[in-house]
Amino acid sequence: MLKYNEKSLKNQHHLLSIAPMMDWTDRHFRAFHRVLSRRALLYTEMVTTGAVLHGDRARLLGYDPVEHPVALQLGGSDPRDLAASAKIGEDLGYDEINLNVGCPSDRVQSGRFGACLMREPELVAECMAAIIDAVKIPSTVKCRIGVDDQDPEESLFRLVDLSAKAGVSLFVVHARKAWLQGLSPKENRDIPPLDYPLVYRLKRERPDLTIVINGGVPSLDAAEEHLGHVDGVMLGRAAYHEPALLAQADRRVFGEAVEDVDLFEAVERYKPYVAARLAEGWHLSGMTRHMLGLFHGRPGARAWRRILTVESVKSGAGLEVIDAALAAVAGAKQGHDRAAFASPEMV
């Protein structure tokens, strides 16, 4: 394990976390990722205060106990609504409340939440003060370094300082600006340049705060490099598209004396969850879609994706689909291993 700073060791669940991602980090995704890492902190998709207060809470906020530690990310800008929503999240057993100050979509902007709040740091601080007053669990902020023509050296530090005065001690910083006009949410994840040094500087100049870096982190190697400068790393698309990297996280990032998770065993451990959800009426495809990248770069990966994609959408699809896909990977692995050990004359 790297020699992380003392602040990191006091907030170990934040050493590695998985970013809240709309349409991706649902309850099935989180349960799947939990069989790969016991320790990584998981986040819900962003849920608006309106949905929490007036929507179907069982559908929007339901989760399985295996997901802990799990944080609820809220979207909103009304302090009273955020406080009420945070209390509901706490009562449901979530381990943390996080305020979204980073999403740049037009829909989010029209609701006056997400990245556009970078322009209203005083309001963010007011919102966080209300949340902190309402709950006992940790309350955190996920933000960008700025938006549009803002100077990140001013916008980031002002937002952090005002929220810190309101009682926030942990900030997840996506090390990019967001452009509120002219770029789609997808483009906002790639086009604005990353400024990791600015986030490192934030940590150096605000050493009492816990700073988690996010944005463009492709691997555990990169995460470990960042952990020499900040308190934690949040992975996003890399963890979704190549979830196998989490199989090494508990050993490499959290320093546990454990073997890396075997991917075949991880699937077997996920199957009871799948069976339980199928019995409740969920569709298999809603769960297997999060598993497609598990064997990325390994023998049988294409067959795995094909079987899960084609068969899981069929009426009545059940665990037999996962078993068939797993068998295809196992067969491909055996063939690959035999070829690798064969003599040159036999190849």
- Would you say 297 is a known binding-site residue? no
- Would you say 216 is a known binding-site residue? yes
- Would you say 201 is a known binding-site residue? no
- Whether 157 and 202 have beta carbons less than 8 Å apart is answered as yes
- Would you say 93 is a known binding-site residue? no
Q: How many CB atoms lie within 10 A of CB 242?
A: 17
Q: How many CB atoms lie within 10 A of CB 158?
A: 18
Structure-token pair, residue 128:
């966080």
- Would you say 89 is a known binding-site residue? no
- Whether 96 and 86 have beta carbons less than 8 Å apart is answered as no
- Would you say 331 is a known binding-site residue? no
Q: What is the 3-state secondary structure (H, E, C) of 122-180?
A: HHHHHHHHHHHHHCCCCEEEEEEEEECCCCHHHHHHHHHHHHHHCCCCEEEEEEEEECC
* Closest to 94 measured CA to CA, from 115, 70, 78: 70
- 103 as an active site residue: the answer is yes
CA distance 222 to 57: 37
CA distance 76 to 50: 8
Catalytic hit among 103, 116, 127, 143: 103
What phi and psi values does residue 243 have, to the nearest 5 degrees? -60, -20
Contacts of 162 (CB under 8 A, 6+ apart): 121, 122, 124, 125
- Would you say 73 is a known binding-site residue? yes
User: What is the DSSP secondary structure assignment for residue 298, as one 8-state letter?
Assistant: S
- Whether 71 and 89 have beta carbons less than 8 Å apart is answered as no
CA distance 11 to 170: 10
- Would you say 55 is a known binding-site residue? no
What phi and psi values does residue 155 have, to the nearest 5 degrees? -65, -45
Contacts of 279 (CB under 8 A, 6+ apart): none
Tokens 């934690």 map to which residue? 232
- Would you say 22 is a known binding-site residue? yes
Active-site residue set? 103
Q: Binding site for FMN, residues?
A: 20-22, 73, 142, 174, 214-216, 236-237
Q: Binding site, residues?
A: 20-22, 73, 142, 174, 214-216, 236-237
